[in-house]
Amino acid sequence: MIPSDIDLGPETVLELAAGIRTRRDAAGHILVDSPVGTVVDIGPQGFAILSMFSPPRTLGDAIAHLEATRRGMVDFAPTMGAINILIEESVLTVSGSDHRPTSGWADPEEHARMLNDHRRTGDYIAALTAAVRPDDVVVDIGTGSGVLAVAAAKAGARRVYAVEASDIADVARRVFEINGVADRVTLVPGWSRQIDLPEPADVLVSEIIGNEPLEEEILETTLDARRRLLAPGARMIPHGLTLMARPILLPAAEVRQRAFGRADVAHWHDLYGIDFAPLLDASIPGPVYTRTEGEVVATWPTCGPPRALATVDLARFDTPSLHGSVDLRVDPPGLVNAVAVTFRADLHDGTTHTLDPWRWPASSWATSVWVLPDPVTVSSNSRLRVQYHRRAAGVADGLSCEVVD
């Protein structure tokens, strides 16, 4: 049974115990060797359940994350049953607010890659330099290597609170010391939604846009910061975010690596003499989310210009749910088998940063590409309607596409 001192609810923060080992049995089920010496069978989708809590998440956010990655196709009862068992067997534990994971964002090579993206880092530093005023208090959410916290201090901030949940915080602390700003930069270990600041901040900088632009929860994090951590009228970097959609045509070999559809089932039947229609029936319907490095995406033909799919005013929005829709023109008319979703971040006073691999292929961000299992034909008299949902009531998270007249 779940320990009596655990009140399991949407805000309960859970994390994986250290040293967890997994394997797959002959039936395809995921087996977990628990810290208490038992073997836990969490079914064929066990890896998806374990990944819900890497990094640590609230139970509510973890379920939303699973719904996003599986585009809403989540059977809630067995998922919660597996989570309960994992808690009982100490595979999942309640996370303290001082938890800092040792993987992912803690990887120094990941931060070196971002520092080597001079356009990305330079745009944020330029925005900070323009935004910070003498005597300002700045909060840097997800400080990472500490580059933006140092930039804020050098721009004249009286105090900078550098918030970081991963073990890269130890590196950032040393960066502050050797660059002579440790007297004005305070490292705050933890997740921003689980900490408090001793004073409200005049400036928020949060470079937490993901490869899928919203996957690092910039909406949830910004909304919480506005409510609890910022002074009235605080300046925000970024203060706006626009998702852009663009129709593209992937080479057939690239599609086969990322998705499969009716044409593939027919090909397999011709090749092997076996009908694999049940495999298609068992797959999640709709476009398949993948991410690809910009240098590769830049070699793929585009089928039309990018258009705004959804825009968020980060200084004023009041819910982390988002719905966007746009009708894309295909020029020249013909086949489309994927949609690239990129972004433009409005940083400060006209300074922007745009992810567009066809203009700037060398980026530390990968490009979010949604692959259609079966291509569609868009004529000169029709459009490709692209809809994007995140935490929208009654609609599965993800992207949907249809041809409309």
Q: Tens place of pLDDT for every residue, the chain, 405 residues?
A: 444 445 566 667 888 877 677 777 777 677 888 877 788 888 776 777 777 776 777 777 777 666 555 544 445 566 777 788 888 888 888 765 443 443 446 678 888 889 899 999 999 999 999 999 999 999 999 999 999 999 999 999 999 999 998 888 999 999 999 999 999 999 999 889 889 999 999 999 999 998 889 888 899 899 999 999 999 999 999 999 999 999 999 988 888 877 778 888 888 889 999 998 888 777 667 888 888 899 999 999 999 999 999 999 999 999 988 999 999 999 999 999 999 999 999 999 999 999 999 999 889 999 999 999 889 999 999 999 999 988 777 677 789 999 999
Taking alpha carbons only, the member of 286, 268, 270 closest to residue 278 is: 268
Q: From CA 114, how far away is CA 197, in angstroms rounded?
A: 27
Q: Which residues contact 178 (CB under 8 A, 6 or more apart)?
A: none
Taking alpha carbons only, the member of 52, 342, 398, 351 closest to residue 213 is: 342
Q: Which residues contact 90 (CB under 8 A, 6 or more apart)?
A: 17, 34, 35, 36
Domain spanning 13-94: CATH 3.40.50.1980: no
**67 carries an active-site annotation:** no
Domain spanning 241-404: CATH 2.60.450.10: no
Q: Residue 21 to residues 1, 37, 52, 100, 288: CA-CA distances in angstroms?
A: 22, 11, 16, 20, 29
pLDDT at position 191, please? 84
Domain span(s) for CATH 3.90.930.70 in the chain: 13-94
Domain span(s) for CATH 3.40.50.150 in the chain: 104-237
In the set 15, 88, 215, 216, the catalytic residue is 216
Q: Residue 164 to residues 40, 184, 287, 388: CA-CA distances in angstroms?
A: 33, 16, 34, 30
Would you say 194 and 97 are in contact if contact means Cβ atoms under 8 Å apart?
Answer: yes
Provide the angle, in degrees to the nearest 10, between the axes of the packed helices 169-178 and 147-154. Answer: 30
**402 carries an active-site annotation:** no
pLDDT at position 8, please? 63
Domain spanning 104-237: CATH 3.30.300.160: no
Domain span(s) for CATH 2.70.160.11 in the chain: 241-404
In the set 89, 164, 207, 212, the catalytic residue is 207
| DSSP E strand stretches across 206-251 | 230-237, 240-248
Q: Residue 207 to residues 108, 167, 251: CA-CA distances in angstroms?
A: 17, 17, 33
pLDDT at position 339, please? 96
